[in-house]
Amino acid sequence: MIKRNKHQQQSADVTSGPQRELTGNLLFLLASFAALGALATNIILPAFPQIAIDLGASIKDLGATLSSFFIAFALGQLVVGPLSDRFGRKPLVLSGLAIFVLGSAVCAMANTLPQLITGRTIQALGVCATSVLSRAIARDLFDGDQLARTLALIMVAMAAAPGFSPLLGGAFNSLLGWRATFGLVAGVAVLLAGYYLIRLGETHAQDHRTAPSITAVLRGYKRLLLDRRFIAPALTVSLVVGTLYAFFSMAPAILMAGFGLSSLDLGLFFAATVFVVFGAGLSSPRLVRRWGQVAVARAGVVIALAGSIGLAVGPENFLCFCLFLTVFLLGMGIVNPLATAIALHPFAANAGAASALLGFLQMGCAAAAITVGTSLSLSAYASLGVISATALSAAFFAFLATK
């Protein structure tokens, strides 16, 4: 029997060189990593009325479970990215999933709103690792058009999760109660950890790792923030994602109180939006081959802006509301993967840090949009003006982006 030396054993699960073939197993894993955070975010939305009753809180107060999640999610990524560049992706993925399971258990056993907020914060600090590292792993393995295609498919999954999760959460709430939803997401995390160990493992080679100090990390983030190649597309996609999550936070009040939808109807509505995002994401690589990444991304953000303005005007009937939302989701589905690929492409050497900062900007914009939209003393429709303003800002940065 041939014995491997120590170096070979240490690098046995490290992919040697960029992997040019995107397999179904790899795509499923990276998409699941990206979608887990979104799944955990929106799965409790249909249960808000019951949670409010059980915990003695108002539905408006439950908005803190979303904003706290996004804030912790955003800040946690800034730590995870550089650590993964130093120690590899594997230990951060596994520890992140373990922390997420712990947070889910705290949520499931919560008897007060502060306890639920604490559990949600722990959840976010764990699941931020899989979200940021799904992009970093993709950058480890792919380059050029293949990277753009991979990120497009990953972003489709990430954008689809908020659509399907309320339907899943509504079903679990009706059958088993809202606490069971946290058991569900914890079980998904455990399964993903096992699948990751079996199918992929480490992708960041030992000789590519760096050991930066805190000062060096901060200096690296500063360079990224000042680099137009990164910051323009990063702010574009972050503001668009922030717009999407702001809409999801306002949707229960608009659709359930305004249009009279039930919790099941709300779940079905969100699920239907997935097909728009899915179609837009799948079409973007074809559009890129003809017109280029930057041009298509700019077109996507303009389409999203048009839809958001329609929503802010305040459609008088449900059909018009759905029409404007479809336009917005179509543009968002196009710009999301393309702006992500444009932002990450020039930074292969520090993909973890670049992905972390991008994730921080996305969740930061989401938290800000949700906080502003829910704190203003406006009607549900008037608060949609926040969405339009955010989308307008995204369009501004889209036209600053370069190839």
pLDDT in tens, 139-162: 778 776 677 677 777 767 776 676
Domain-embedded: residue 4: no
Helix, strand, coil distribution of the chain in percent, nearest 5: 80, 0, 20
Domain-embedded: residue 159: yes
Residues 304-314: pLDDT tens digits? 888 878 877 76
Domain-embedded: residue 372: yes
Q: What is the DSSP letter of 314?
A: -
Per-residue tokens: 107: 């949520």
Q: What is the distance of C-alpha 254 from the center of its chain? A: 23
Q: Cβ(136)–Cβ(12) under 8 Å?
A: no
Residues 123-134: pLDDT tens digits? 999 998 988 888
Domain-embedded: residue 79: yes
Cα 235 from Cα 368, distance rounded (Å): 13
Per-residue tokens: 212: 């930066």
Domain-embedded: residue 15: no
pLDDT at residue 98 in the model: 96
Domain-embedded: residue 12: no
pLDDT at residue 121 in the model: 94
pLDDT at residue 7 in the model: 39
Among candidates 223, 23, 33, which has minimal Cα distance to 142? 23
Q: What is the domain count for the chain?
A: 1
Residue with tokens 């899989």: 130
Cα 318 from Cα 315, distance rounded (Å): 7
pLDDT at residue 324 in the model: 85
CATH number for position 95: 1.20.1250.20
Among candidates 29, 25, 137, 34, which has minimal Cα distance to 90? 137
Q: Cβ(184)–Cβ(173) under 8 Å?
A: no
Cα 222 from Cα 368, distance rounded (Å): 21
Domain-embedded: residue 13: no
Domain-embedded: residue 11: no
Mean pLDDT of each 10-residue bin along the chain, 403 residues long: 40 43 78 84 80 82 82 86 82 94 94 93 92 82 73 70 73 82 92 89 70 77 88 84 74 73 74 78 78 83 82 75 86 82 77 80 78 58 58 62 54
The reported pTM is 0.72
Q: Which domain holds residue 68?
A: 23-398
Q: What is the distance of C-alpha 244 from the center of its chain? A: 10
Residue with tokens 């702010």: 235
